[in-house]
Amino acid sequence: MIRTVLRLVPDSERATVPRYLAAVVVHALAQSVAYVLLVPLLEALFRGDLASAWGWTAGVAAAAVVVAVAGYQQAVTGIRIGVGMVHSLQTRIGDHIATLPLGWFDSTTAGRVSRLVSTSVKDAMGVFAHLLTPMVAGVLVPAGVAVGLLFIDPHVSLAMVVSAPLLYLVNRWGRRLYGRAEDRVHTASEESNARVIEFAQAQPVLRAFDAATTGNRGLQEALESQRREGRRLVWASVPGLVVFSSLVQATFVGLVYLVISQTSGGSLSAPAAIALIAVSSRFIDPLNQAAELATAARGAANAAERIRALLETPPLDEPTAPVRPQDSSVRFEAVSFAYADGATVVDDVTFEVPAGTTTALVGPSGSGKTTLLRLASRFYDVDAGRIEVGGHPVDAYPSTTLMEQFALVFQDVYLFHQSIAENVRIGRADATEGEVLSAAAVARVDEIVERLPDGWDTNVGEGGTSLSGGERQRVSIARALLKDAPIVLLDEATSALDPQNEAAVVRGVHELTRDKTVIVVAHRLSTIRHADQILFLDQGRIVERGAHDELLAAGGRYADFWGERSRAAGWHLVGSATTADGSGK
């Protein structure tokens, strides 16, 4: 534990650590000296030898002064290191997260990071602030007492030396049981944290579909699993605690028995016996205390381990000799990819998107279309093959240069807890007020703003929950317009938007993609039909490719798909008497 936690100490506090550890050790040793000196002190008192008693009292007092001074030192330095650690870890975690591949962020990330930054960092800090001192005392005070007694009564001393490793082993076993259970509780509570956040953010969607009660199944399952693991944790801590404290009491009884049998054998005086029994209890107390803290220490060690694991999650490799793009083409060459926990979802995919052309990705749900967009923008690194952007492999660019090439309009639009204007400005931080407004106007965000109580300054709420899905997409298009990047990665809305949003989105996308290289996960028939190249995907493979007319003429999977979708759209046209689907264009 100590080593893992020590690695998290910031450089600025590293020099304090030896001073802190020295104070902790001196504090514990001085306590054991004070306890051991009680034996001759009590003996002298019982004998009525007051002169010696005063001498020993002076010794005990001197040890007590050292305990006080060292105690003060360890408290001050411990808190200083702890506070420094919290501050530096929160900054380091923030900085490190910014370097991680985008693919690292998923639905559980928010819960995971928020727990790390709040609870885990404080748990790890507790080691210095209040855990280590009693833990070290729990080992050193009994050891010091045992060694000190060697000069007074070797038998009792030996009995202590023999029982200590046994106590240690039982304690370690108990901590292991607890540690494993604690890990499971942590994972379960991360999951439920994430589900709570998701449930809160998704309220408008859930209510719109009358699913506010049924839609929280994931949350309920996560909470149930957390409760189950919490119960298991309680049970896991029982065997270790019960066996350990029984053993501690048995050791004490054994020591008392030893002292009494030596007294009745005549080898120990009655005053010495009383003093030894008193000191034996001092041998036991710190052990008990350390055992009680061991579970907290184990929790702190787990917390430190989780922080370390996050800080050691490899960031995206940044190239040593960065390149600049030659154009805005994109090329996939024999690319295969699987998500960390699953089967291959992109299987030997090769295609080229020449600069300034549009490629539509079409195919059944789950066939890997969205994944291709994520791979192009290096959310993840591929498992095999390579992806080139602007004539160079994606990993030859510094991540900022690569991201400069792309404007992303994905379905899961995240809006910050800021005004609409600030949310559009995310597209390009240094854009002028006029540029923000004109990008917003193209995506008809101005029309949304007119309806909001504080106009442009209206705060859109956490995650943009005060806007509808279509409206959020318009803000995201405005951001992309403002960014004006040469390659547009677009994930079209799968669900039909209301006519007003649909018209605004179509217009925004039209402007956004003009003269750009576009890869689009296409659902609208007009987008598909006008694409320069259509890739039909199934189970991660490209099964057909070509332009609309060629593919229709070929009469394969695409032709079937087109037939079905056109019939559905036609039915929709008649049924709703609108042209919302846009298939007629």
Q: Specify the residue, 111 or 368, whose C-beta has the smaller distance to ligand ADP.
A: 368
From the list 2-10, 125-133, 361-369, 563-571, the region that binds ligand ADP by CB under 6 A is: 361-369
From the list 73-81, 151-159, 211-219, 364-372, the region that binds ligand ADP by CB under 6 A is: 364-372
Q: 3-state SS of 503-516?
A: HHHHHHHHHHHCCC
Q: Specify the residue, 202 or 439, whose C-beta has the smaller distance to ligand ADP.
A: 202
Rounded Cα distance between 523 and 509, Å, is: 13
Among 115, 195, 306, 369, binds ligand ADP (CB under 6 A): 369
Rounded Cα distance between 367 and 38, Å, is: 78
From the list 73-81, 154-162, 282-290, 360-368, the region that binds ligand ADP by CB under 6 A is: 360-368
Q: Specify the residue, 354 or 385, whose C-beta has the smaller distance to ligand ADP.
A: 385
* Minimum separation from the CB atom of position 103 to ligand ADP (A): 7
347 three-class SS: strand
CA 244 to chain centroid: 34
Q: Specify the residue, 480 or 521, whose C-beta has the smaller distance to ligand ADP.
A: 521
Among 240, 368, 470, 508, binds ligand ADP (CB under 6 A): 368
Among 165, 342, 434, 453, binds ligand ADP (CB under 6 A): 342
From the list 1-9, 56-64, 87-95, 369-377, the region that binds ligand ADP by CB under 6 A is: 369-377
Total residues contacting ligand ADP by CB under 6 A comes to 12
Q: Does 106 bind ligand ADP (CB under 6 A)?
A: yes
Q: Specify the residue, 265 or 342, whose C-beta has the smaller distance to ligand ADP.
A: 342
Closest CA to 24 of 59, 76, 65, 60: 76
Rounded Cα distance between 299 and 465, Å, is: 36
Kindly list the strands in the beta sheet with 406-409, ordered across the sheet, starting from the edge strand earlier in the chain: 406-409, 487-491, 517-521, 358-362, 533-538, 541-546
Among 259, 276, 345, 534, binds ligand ADP (CB under 6 A): 345
Report 403-432 residues binding ligand ADP (CB under 6 A).
Answer: none
Q: Counting beta carbons within 10 angstroms of the beta carbon of residue 154, is it exposed (0 to 12), middle (13 to 18) or buried (19 or more)?
A: exposed
Let me know: does 194 contact 108? Beta carbons within 8 Å: yes
* Minimum separation from the CB atom of position 380 to ligand ADP (A): 9
Q: Does 495 bind ligand ADP (CB under 6 A)?
A: no
Q: Specify the residue, 292 or 538, whose C-beta has the smaller distance to ligand ADP.
A: 538
* Minimum separation from the CB atom of position 337 to ligand ADP (A): 9
User: Which residues on neighbouring strands pair with residue 360, listed in sequence order?
Assistant: 520, 534
* Minimum separation from the CB atom of position 524 to ligand ADP (A): 15
Give the angle 380-381-387 at the CA atoms, nearest 5°. Answer: 115
* Minimum separation from the CB atom of position 338 to ligand ADP (A): 8
SS3 content of the chain, % helix, strand, coil (to 5): 65, 10, 25
Q: Specify the residue, 382 or 396, whose C-beta has the smaller distance to ligand ADP.
A: 382
Rounded Cα distance between 412 and 415, Å, is: 10
From the list 136-144, 366-374, 420-428, 528-536, the region that binds ligand ADP by CB under 6 A is: 366-374
* Minimum separation from the CB atom of position 371 to ligand ADP (A): 3
Let me know: does 135 contact 25? Beta carbons within 8 Å: no
CA separation (Å) from 78 to 75, 137, 303? 5, 15, 18
CA separation (Å) from 310 to 99, 305, 413, 518, 530? 12, 9, 26, 35, 45
Helix extents (H) in 452-498: 469-483
Q: Specify the residue, 57 or 411, whose C-beta has the smaller distance to ligand ADP.
A: 411
User: Which residues on neighbouring strands pair with residue 386, listed in sequence order?
Assistant: 333
Tell me, residue by residue from 370 to 389, as one string, x for binding to ligand ADP by CB under 6 A and - for no binding: xx------------------
* Cα Rg of the chain (Å, integer): 35
Among 18, 154, 322, 366, binds ligand ADP (CB under 6 A): 366
Rounded Cα distance between 315 and 99, Å, is: 5
Tell me, residue by residue from 504 to 533, as one string, x for binding to ligand ADP by CB under 6 A and - for no binding: -----------------x------------
* Minimum separation from the CB atom of position 137 to ligand ADP (A): 48
What tokens does 158 get?
């030996």
From the list 38-46, 219-227, 365-373, 431-439, the region that binds ligand ADP by CB under 6 A is: 365-373
* Minimum separation from the CB atom of position 504 to ligand ADP (A): 24
* Minimum separation from the CB atom of position 381 to ligand ADP (A): 14
CA 48 to chain centroid: 66
Residues in the chain: 585
Let me know: does 347 contact 539? Beta carbons within 8 Å: yes
Q: Which amino acid is at 563?
A: G
* Minimum separation from the CB atom of position 456 to ligand ADP (A): 34
Q: Specify the residue, 98 or 340, whose C-beta has the smaller distance to ligand ADP.
A: 340
Element (H, E) at 94: helix 50-97
Q: Specify the residue, 368 or 464, whose C-beta has the smaller distance to ligand ADP.
A: 368
Q: Counting beta carbons within 10 angstroms of the beta carbon of residue 98, is it exposed (0 to 12), middle (13 to 18) or buried (19 or more)?
A: exposed
Give the angle 562-564-566 at the CA atoms, nearest 5°. Answer: 65
Element (H, E) at 276: helix 270-312
Among 213, 320, 365, 400, binds ligand ADP (CB under 6 A): 365
From the list 239-247, 279-287, 338-346, 471-479, the region that binds ligand ADP by CB under 6 A is: 338-346
Q: Specify the residue, 250 or 568, whose C-beta has the smaller distance to ligand ADP.
A: 568
Judged by the rule CB under 6 A, the positions of this chain that interact with ligand ADP are: 106, 339, 342, 345, 365-371, 521
